[in-house]
Structure 1
Amino acid sequence: MTITLKEDSETLDEVVVTGFGLAQKKATLTGAISSVGDEDISRSVASTASGALVGKIAGLNTRQVDGRPGASTTIQIRNMGTPLFVIDGIQSDEGQFNNLDFNDIESISVLKDASAAIYGVRAANGVVVVTTKKGKKNSKNTVAINTYYGWQTPSSFPKPADATTYITNYIQSETVQGKTDYTYSKEDYEKWKQGTEKGYVPFDWYDFIWETSPQYYVNANVSGGSDKINYYFSVGHLNQDAMIVNYGGFKRTNVQMNIDAQINERLKIGASMNGRIEERKNPGVPEPDDYWMPRFGTYRNLPTKRPYANDNPNYPTLTSSNAATNFAWLTYDLSGEYKNTWRVAQLQANAEYDIFDGLKAKAMVGYYLAYNVVNNQEYTYKLYGYDEATDTYPVIVENKNPWREREVGHKEELLSNVQLSYNKKFGEHSVSAIAGLEAVKRDTPHSWLHSIPTANSLHLIDYETMDTYNDYGNETQARLGWMFRGNYDYANKYLVEFSARYDGSWKFPPNHRWGFFPSASVGWRISEENFWKESKMSSIFSDFKLRGSYGLVGDDDLGDAYAAFDYMAGYNYKNGGSVIDGEYTIGSVPRGLPVTTLSWIKAKILDIGFDAAFLDNRLTGQFDFFRRHRTGLPASRYDVLLPSEVGFSLPKENLNSDVHMGYDAIVKWSDRINDFTYSIGGNVTYARFYDWEQYKPRFSNSWDVYRNSIDHRFGYVNWGLEAIGQFESWEEIATYPIDNDRQGNKTLRPGDIKYKDVNGDGVINSMDERPVGYREGATPVLNWGLNFAFGWKGFDLSFDLTGGALASWYQDYEQRNPFHDGGNNPQYYMEDTWHLADIWDADSELIKGTYPMLLIGNSSHSNYWNSTFWKKNVKYVKLRNLEFGYTLPKHIIQKVLISDLRFYVAGTNLFTITNIKGVDPESDQTNGLGYPTTRVINIGMNLKF
């Protein structure tokens, strides 16, 4: 075996897009910018672009809380909130990014520090810059086809207890609570355990509702170019069925076109277009979230209930106190249909003119149009019983309140920018600069109609049956910004960058509308110094760079604290009303006190880091410490009260501040040993949020200061009791000196939770609560990823591990409360409680379990107080992606005019190791009933000719 060590110069020569079409070599970057190329992006079976990035970029925090068809992965940069997405120079939103066909993406750059300031007021949370694929000059025409077919199953969903486990716990509860007239007799119990006699056959609602479902994808693209023109054209289609039986799913068709032309020696023009049609469809269900009721029904319907009266599939029956939980009638035929369709197009045209050596002018205009139509209809329906004596099916529930609704809206955005750029090298001095103007205008008209049709078959909304029409009007948004960035580079050693934005936003009053936001960064490539090259360090470090940045970024996203034109006095029309002369007259109300001082949120961003390369660039690494301090967050002086006669409260002001602080790092080793290639990489991000200065009135005592003051503290603190064990015996309870349940311990049983008396007063109450856990329902404070790729003679194997820690999940509702709301609990829970050796004898031996004994109607007991027993500090590892492929030898496939042909098998979410049971660790649902993320196995092909 021969081992060859070869310098990897491509790592330092890699070009990274840094903003407004500009790019720099990675070696000369001074900002905290990470990038990923198309090979890493396409190595995923995710259905969205965000899902393809999981675990691959340091500083990029990801979390998939919902796995329904078409659902995306939440992306945050350093846990700072939703970033700005820029696609081929056009500012876009998260939905537009997620629904790109990621096979059309050439590269993604993530601007994590003040380098994002060049993009203006929407960039305070960082920027994700997407560059789509283009044809290459002087290249032959190439056709590529990428396709896969796969199978989806729930990666994790807590299965409800089976009939025997449920009835066992129910009988035990009645025994302990002294009931003699049992719901289930001993004879009934034995019949349910046998499960064969009619009327005593258990039903598995999980298997009835969930299934293995297919997904498939195909993309075809054509690219090429001459010395004057290059092009790329692509069409892709994704179809993803729901894992709920016969419940519809998600379809998306994408089109991408890019073309660039060199008109003459000085003038170059280009254009791009990406469009999509996407459709989500499922039965019409009487809930705001149509996917909720089947999941809820998994638990609300007991395993002793069956979906059809007398098991006749023509007669769905009532299975719980909530008629909608019976999945048997949640079908297109019986309950109606919901359909949500988006038609989206994004167009961009640009021209670049080379004025003279190094000086260029560029103009770009972009147009974005998204048209959305929601059609929803819920039918009347009937649920039936069965009369065995007459062999008839009487109606026991009838819904006579059908409805039909249509929602129509669209987003229309026009973006334009003009810029002058200069790039020139004078000996060892390199100078570059860009100055320009950017304008964005957005309109969002929206209307909603609702009617009560006279029959299920009437799908049109008639005027006579229409009971609601809401025209939400057209909100016009506008922003204008001047921008500048200058770079200086001496001998590839000393690097300086300065940038600035002068932005105006339509939101603010004229005297607060504009803001100036500068930033600067520096870099020092120590490895280029002579003293370094002449030292022993040069044999270890092939590159080493120190860098730092600091800047001010503005943000006009004030959330619900401020609406457009709140700075104006006046009236809100068509609001309220009264009866005048027997007729109801719609009235108007004053708008309230004008908001005249509220303005920009300002983010001061500091980043200090280094880039290093070792052993001829085969080992590379990057480390960054960051701190973002935001000031001017809107809040009210709620302790200052106006007289009630005024009828208003004081407007919000720029009062509060917060801090995000942490570090991120990435390391990667790449090498080749003869025909064997491999790379191993890892990244980690620690990002913690702090409430820094929050407006609070003066507190009257030290406890209130401790409990309610949040200055300079971890944000989103949860308070609860500290669980210190469980009572082991009746004797321990009888002699226990602390009032653990606030009732003299009269309600306690062995197995019940014991709490720490923090203040030593002998009673467990709110004064014993302390900060517990971390933020719930959010991306973990600590995220990490490991990426592996291997290749040998046409075979390739790659896999990604991702993980997180320092996040909390609170076990509640179905996952905690006994027989929650008359329904079921999880199997893992019910089979692992303290229980009686004989469920019919309250004095029989107690057998230990993890959880307290489940007692009917006992959810307010001290066992279920907020404590560390139920709040889980989540830790997890996921095998996010695994792919094995084989590329056929070229000397074989070229005979049939094929240049590349590869087959592969790939999977995602194949396993999870976590410290919580039954529930996906990324879920934000405390009841554990979130739509599960998908475990997918795909077989696919990549063909090029």
Structure 2
Amino acid sequence: MKRLKIFFAAACLCVVLPAVLQAQDKHTVSGKVLDETGQPIPGAVVMVSGTSRGTSADMDGHYSINASANETLEFSSFGYVSQTVAVGSKSVIDITLKEDSFLLEETVVVGYGTQRKIDLTGAVDQVGSDVFASRPNSNVTQMLEGAIPNLNISLEDGKPIRTAEYNIRGTTSIGQGGSALILIDGVEGDPAYLNPDDIASVTVLKDAASAAIYGSRAPYGVVLITTKNPSKSKIVVNYSNNFTISQPVVKPQYVTDGFTWAEHFYLGYYNYNGSNPTDMNTMMPFNTNWLSEYALRKETGNLGTIISDGSYRVNAGNYAYFGEGTDWFGLLYKDHTFAQTHNFSVSGSSGDFEYYVSGRMYNYYGLYDSKTNTDDCNSQNMRVKVGYQAFPWLKLSNNFEMGHRHYNNPFVSSGAAGNIWAVINGNAPVCMPFYNPDGTMTKAAAYTVGGFLYGNSKNVYETDYIRNTMGFTASFFDKALTINGDATYKLDDYNGMIRLYPDEFSEAPGTVSTKPGLVSSMQKDHSDTKYLAANIYADYTKTFGKHYIKGLIGYNYEQRSKSTLTTYNTDLLSEDVESISLSFGTEKKRATDKWSKWRSVGVFSRLNYSFDDRYLLQFNGRYDGSSKFPSNERWAFFPSLSAGWRITEEPWVKPIGKDVLSNAKLRLSWGTLGNSNVDPYYYDETFSFGNSRLLDGTIYRKTSSPDPIPGNLTWERSTTYDAGVDLGFFNDRLQLVADIYLRKTEDMFTDGPSIQAIYGAESPKGNYAELSTRGFEVLLSWKDGFKLGSKTFNYSVKATLADYVSRIDKFNNDTNFIGGSNTPEYYVGMIIGERWGFECNGLWQSQEDIDVAEAGAAAAGQPHYDSLNQMASNYSLHPGDIKIEDLNGNGYIDRGDQTLDNPGDRRIIGNVEPRFLYSFTLGADWNNFFASIFFQGVGKRDYITGGDSGMIWGQYNRQYNQMPMWQLGNYWTEDNRDAWMPRYSARMSPFYSIQRRANTRYILDASYIRLKNVQFGYTLPEKWVKPLRISRASIFFSGENLWDWSPMYEHVWGTVDVLGLGEDPENSDSTAGSGGCYPIMSSYSFGINITF
């Protein structure tokens, strides 16, 4: 027994002693990881070979790790050659990693994988996560604006929840539209819901050769957003926050003196109508006695609200208003609003398991100045990415994402579809106060700001989404062959509620009223969108001698279904009701639902060939099928071909040296893609049902013959030709990327040829039109550094420029009809965005000149020289009116028959499409300080106001609109003949005889330059944060939309921002004419970023 115990003890000692000795031998090894120029490599991974122990270098390249003398450290970083060093007795190991030319070319994300950068032969742009770092913006879309040339992003307004339209390289299709396909980790998604901190890179595939792998889903380009992957080292925990103060770029500046506004109300109406006004729209009566009394009270300082004795057309006993003036737009907005964002992430690996978990919480506290009903918004996002190396040849992965967003938008119960800007502009006389003497709201307040901010009408929407993608990667033959597969399920759930409750007001003491005919109501909307996708594809790479081949073949399946349900009823039980079950209306109660579904499948392939990394070829092909087309047109094949020539790899160029010419590559590409963006049931005959007349006491259901359907409905096709050049000088410190392109879109889905009225229906739409777009894009950058003191000062400059012009090549318009002044029609030869209008030759300055013109019109048999553009209802011209040129010389102003052959006195006067889009970025870092500045703009763009543009033109639109401050002293009078605006006259909208019809005098130059973003920050020294177990910490300040300038501001200022012209030219639309939408915001933020 004793010998057994001794043997057991000796055995234990043999097992334990080496471990003890090894543990005793462990010591701390530290040092720096640098590149060949001596610059630190942040994030470089330092691993103990053969173990899962590891760390990463900080921003200065410093690392620290525990290791034993007999262990080996492995140093690696993407784009560099890995190195191993035996520890031994060393406690300090500094390492210099060399660039790996092969790995550096692996950094570009493309469709279904990555490609060596040297093999790219198409038009591809990519930006990294730095574009999104430390920005005071929760919306990825707004951060991408201007970052990539010819990625054109249009926003309807500045709401924090707004989803944008992504366009690549200009006008795509006048038929079914042509937004870019947005893929987030390979799955279609909306970037507005994405956490900016999750983004690793954004790649834009611009030409058909690059996007062909996605077939009919991407006829007009692809935006690939790739999120961050798990860290390969130890656990990395990151936390960042952003506290933001925002205010509108432009707060509307309108006349707030009640009497000044009332004077111009009278002047505008009288000059238009030739008589005194009798009412201020629906708000209050008007007569000259009231205006005279107002003037007297203004002079004596006796302004306020009185009880009428029946004078001033105000009923006896009602309130009569002689207010100092109310700034209705000033009441709408807070001085500033606040938002906060909190982001966290945990990433790491353990053995064969890796993970990345992130989350975000965002709160926006609303711009509208109400504590009970402001436009507050909150959202939460979470992402979990995991990977498991099940076998050396098989890796499993899962990418799960979920999010929630809630937005509360006050609603205007008085009408205008809830548009508060239009309602204020049309229903808020400046002379009326907000409250009556007894504390009740005035009619103007209840109809506008009061009901909006303090009423119980609102529009609430909530969205929830989940997405899960399961995938695998199997590698064979030393990773030469990889097989990838993934399956995705995505659910978007939307719930909206519009509750309208009439707001009370008083027009006399002791009385309460609401808007006539308005009853409480509620509408609820619900939709579910379910998306399924599956991909399986194989990738094979082979190098032999000077030949490099990379092939890809795969299969894609997609399916989307959407169901919607809308319920509505009136007569709510109370103003706080949020349930239609507690409403008791019977006449308008309704419930409607819709359902749609489509499927698509595709087989795709890509083949890359390179000889000596010098001559490059790429072929893409995709065979697509879509359920949206008839069976005989359901399938189509879309090929592309591209080639490249790396001139710098030629022996006769190499002597120049990389320090002079480091890269020169020419690229050519051609490709055709299909567009399946049509209604999934358009080729089916559809019947509509309704109720017939009452017959014998019974109401029968009825239907009618379906509308005609097009024959041979098929794919809209776009073919792109692209030529590009990539140049690098001085070891790529100076780089130039330039492309020119032609995109021809054929078989566009538009109106068919005219048919006789006896047919009984309109001609069905079909594949009838063609369009061509020509453009270019240039990116020029410089990156360098120099010693400043003992530290290196690094700086960078980047500039981009892009332009495009689109032309109609085929369209069903036999007469070449050009349309009305603000509603252009398409015709062959038309340049997209062009606008027809009149030639304005200043303002009429004398009655004598007018008389001569009128005499000429009479000699031509016309009653008036200019019956189209005159202000007064009797068509008489006056000094101060605009002077339209008689271009066709017939003696009077006309539109002819509104065709190309006979346009009358109109000509093409401008183009509203943006031209020469540019950006300019400066960046620098030194001694832990970092800074950047980003400008973005449009070099040329005309703007013609819409049909109801009171936000810009004020009382020139309607006499009861608000009056912009810039118009004071800026309209024609006998003493102010050089004014920009004509004599003061109302009712100049397209619904009457307008002066504001498109003409050369009042077309606005909406080109602009904007200071889009400024950042400044400081990374705390390692010695400060290391005792706190923090590997990196930085603080930063960032500003967004801080300044802009536009030639438009020479005339129009303080009412609209040039970026919308419905409150900001970045906005693609406005909800009630020019100037009526949520403003773009200037933002100032402060935050911290900490990595543990």
Q: TM-score, normalised by structure 1?
A: 0.90
- 1:632 and 2:764 are equivalent in the alignment: no
> 1:741 corresponds to which residue?
866
Greater mean deviation of Cα atoms: 479-488 or 747-756? 747-756
- 1:318 and 2:443 are equivalent in the alignment: yes
Identical amino acids, percent of aligned pairs: 24
* Equivalent AA in structure 1 for residue 795 of structure 2: Y
Quote the offset at 1:532 in angstroms. 0.9
2:706 to 587, 591, 597: 591
* Equivalent AA in structure 2 for residue 198 of structure 1: G
* Equivalent AA in structure 2 for residue 656 of structure 1: A
- 1:206 and 2:329 are equivalent in the alignment: yes
Whether the 8 Å CA contact 2:413–2:503 is kept in 1: the answer is: no
Q: Residues 500-649 of structure 1: matches in 2 within 5 Å?
A: 500-534=621-655, 536=656, 539-558=659-678, 563-569=679-685, 572=687, 574-641=689-756, 643-644=758-759, 647-649=760-762
Map Cα deviations across residues 598-643 of structure 1 (whole Å, 9 max, x no partner): 1100110111100111111111110000111011112343323374
The gaps in structure 2 that reach 5 residues or longer are: 1-36, 40-97, 173-177, 278-286, 306-322, 858-864, 896-903, 1061-1068
1:305 to 420, 426, 432: 432
Q: Which has the higher contact order (CA 8 A, sep 6+)?
A: 1
- 1:833 and 2:970 are equivalent in the alignment: yes
Greater mean deviation of Cα atoms: 204-213 or 524-533? 204-213
Map Cα deviations across residues 80-112 of structure 1 (whole Å, 9 max, x no partner): 3410011111123xxx22210111111010000
> 1:429 corresponds to which residue?
547
SS of the aligned residue for 1:747 comes to: coil
Whether the 8 Å CA contact 1:517–1:553 is kept in 2: the answer is: yes
Q: Partners of 2:195 and 2:361 in 1: how far apart?
A: 9
Quote the offset at 1:22 in angstroms. 1.2
Q: Residues 524-923 of structure 1: matches in 2 within 5 Å?
A: 524-534=645-655, 536=656, 539-558=659-678, 563-569=679-685, 572=687, 574-641=689-756, 643-644=758-759, 647-674=760-787, 675-697=792-814, 710-734=827-851, 741-742=866-867, 747-766=876-895, 767-775=904-912, 780-811=914-945, 813-814=949-950, 815-816=952-953, 818=955, 820-836=957-973, 845-846=975-976, 848-857=978-987, 860=992, 863-916=995-1048, 917-918=1052-1053, 919-923=1056-1060
* Equivalent AA in structure 2 for residue 425 of structure 1: T
* Equivalent AA in structure 1 for residue 441 of structure 2: P
Whether the 8 Å CA contact 2:957–2:988 is kept in 1: the answer is: no
Q: Residues 423-462 of structure 1: matches in 2 within 5 Å?
A: 423-452=541-570, 453-462=572-581
Whether the 8 Å CA contact 1:346–1:368 is kept in 2: the answer is: yes
Quote the offset at 1:262 in angstroms. 1.5
* Equivalent AA in structure 2 for residue 451 of structure 1: N
Describe the shift of the 1:673–1:738 C-alpha distance in structure 2 as closer, same or farther (beyond 3 A): farther
* Equivalent AA in structure 1 for residue 166 of structure 2: I
Map Cα deviations across residues 220-268 of structure 1 (whole Å, 9 max, x no partner): 1111124523211111011123322122222111111111222111001
Q: Partners of 1:301 and 1:512 in 2: how far apart?
A: 57
Describe the shift of the 1:428–1:291 C-alpha distance in structure 2 as closer, same or farther (beyond 3 A): farther
Cα RMSD after superposing both structures: 3.0
Quote the offset at 1:587 in angstroms. 2.6
Q: Partners of 1:300 and 1:396 in 2: how far apart?
A: 14
* Equivalent AA in structure 1 for residue 614 of structure 2: K
* Equivalent AA in structure 2 for residue 760 of structure 1: G
* Equivalent AA in structure 1 for residue 937 of structure 2: G
Greater mean deviation of Cα atoms: 506-515 or 791-800? 791-800
Greater mean deviation of Cα atoms: 798-807 or 726-735? 726-735
Quote the offset at 1:910 in angstroms. 0.8
Structure showing greater Rg: 2
Whether the 8 Å CA contact 1:86–1:130 is kept in 2: the answer is: yes
Whether the 8 Å CA contact 1:642–1:650 is kept in 2: the answer is: no
* Equivalent AA in structure 2 for residue 82 of structure 1: S
Whether the 8 Å CA contact 1:447–1:469 is kept in 2: the answer is: no
SS of the aligned residue for 1:610 comes to: strand
- 1:253 and 2:380 are equivalent in the alignment: yes
SS of the aligned residue for 2:407 comes to: strand
Q: Partners of 1:271 and 1:198 in 2: how far apart?
A: 69
* Equivalent AA in structure 2 for residue 384 of structure 1: S
Whether the 8 Å CA contact 1:273–1:346 is kept in 2: the answer is: yes
SS of the aligned residue for 1:119 comes to: helix
Greater mean deviation of Cα atoms: 291-300 or 175-184? 175-184
Whether the 8 Å CA contact 2:817–2:827 is kept in 1: the answer is: no
Quote the offset at 1:294 in angstroms. 4.7
Q: Partners of 1:51 and 1:864 in 2: how far apart?
A: 33
SS of the aligned residue for 1:330 comes to: helix
> 1:126 corresponds to which residue?
221
Whether the 8 Å CA contact 1:151–1:214 is kept in 2: the answer is: yes
Whether the 8 Å CA contact 1:556–1:600 is kept in 2: the answer is: yes
> 1:49 corresponds to which residue?
140
- 1:932 and 2:1064 are equivalent in the alignment: no
> 1:189 corresponds to which residue?
295
SS of the aligned residue for 2:204 comes to: strand
The gaps in structure 1 that reach 5 residues or longer are: 837-843
Quote the offset at 1:786 in angstroms. 0.6
Quote the offset at 1:881 in angstroms. 0.6
Whether the 8 Å CA contact 1:381–1:400 is kept in 2: the answer is: no
Q: Partners of 1:749 and 1:741 in 2: how far apart?
A: 11
Q: Partners of 1:233 and 1:78 in 2: how far apart?
A: 36
* Equivalent AA in structure 1 for residue 243 of structure 2: Y
Describe the shift of the 1:876–1:556 C-alpha distance in structure 2 as closer, same or farther (beyond 3 A): same
Quote the offset at 1:709 in angstroms. 7.2
SS of the aligned residue for 1:309 comes to: coil
> 1:941 corresponds to which residue?
1088
Q: Partners of 2:302 and 2:100 in 1: how far apart?
A: 72
Whether the 8 Å CA contact 2:156–2:162 is kept in 1: the answer is: no
Quote the offset at 1:793 in angstroms. 1.1
> 1:19 corresponds to which residue?
110
1:154 to 245, 248, 253: 248
Q: Partners of 1:793 and 1:10 in 2: how far apart?
A: 29
Q: Partners of 1:875 and 1:194 in 2: how far apart?
A: 47
SS of the aligned residue for 1:395 comes to: coil
* Equivalent AA in structure 1 for residue 906 of structure 2: E
Q: Partners of 1:276 and 1:213 in 2: how far apart?
A: 24
Describe the shift of the 1:12–1:113 C-alpha distance in structure 2 as closer, same or farther (beyond 3 A): farther
* Equivalent AA in structure 2 for residue 694 of structure 1: F
Whether the 8 Å CA contact 1:210–1:243 is kept in 2: the answer is: yes
Q: Partners of 1:471 and 1:172 in 2: how far apart?
A: 49
Quote the offset at 1:201 in angstroms. 2.0
Q: Residues 488-499 of structure 1: matches in 2 within 5 Å?
A: 488-499=609-620
SS of the aligned residue for 2:262 comes to: helix
Whether the 8 Å CA contact 2:268–2:959 is kept in 1: the answer is: no
> 1:840 corresponds to which residue?
none
Describe the shift of the 1:457–1:49 C-alpha distance in structure 2 as closer, same or farther (beyond 3 A): closer
Q: Partners of 1:266 and 1:9 in 2: how far apart?
A: 25
Describe the shift of the 1:459–1:270 C-alpha distance in structure 2 as closer, same or farther (beyond 3 A): same
Q: Partners of 1:699 and 1:64 in 2: how far apart?
A: 33
Whether the 8 Å CA contact 1:509–1:596 is kept in 2: the answer is: no
Map Cα deviations across residues 812-838 of structure 1 (whole Å, 9 max, x no partner): 5312363534423442443143355xx
- Tell me which protein shows more strand as a share of its residues: 1
Q: Partners of 1:724 and 1:474 in 2: how far apart?
A: 56
Describe the shift of the 1:734–1:651 C-alpha distance in structure 2 as closer, same or farther (beyond 3 A): closer
Whether the 8 Å CA contact 2:456–2:576 is kept in 1: the answer is: no
- 1:142 and 2:274 are equivalent in the alignment: no
Describe the shift of the 1:744–1:369 C-alpha distance in structure 2 as closer, same or farther (beyond 3 A): closer
Q: Partners of 1:289 and 1:107 in 2: how far apart?
A: 42
- 1:39 and 2:130 are equivalent in the alignment: yes
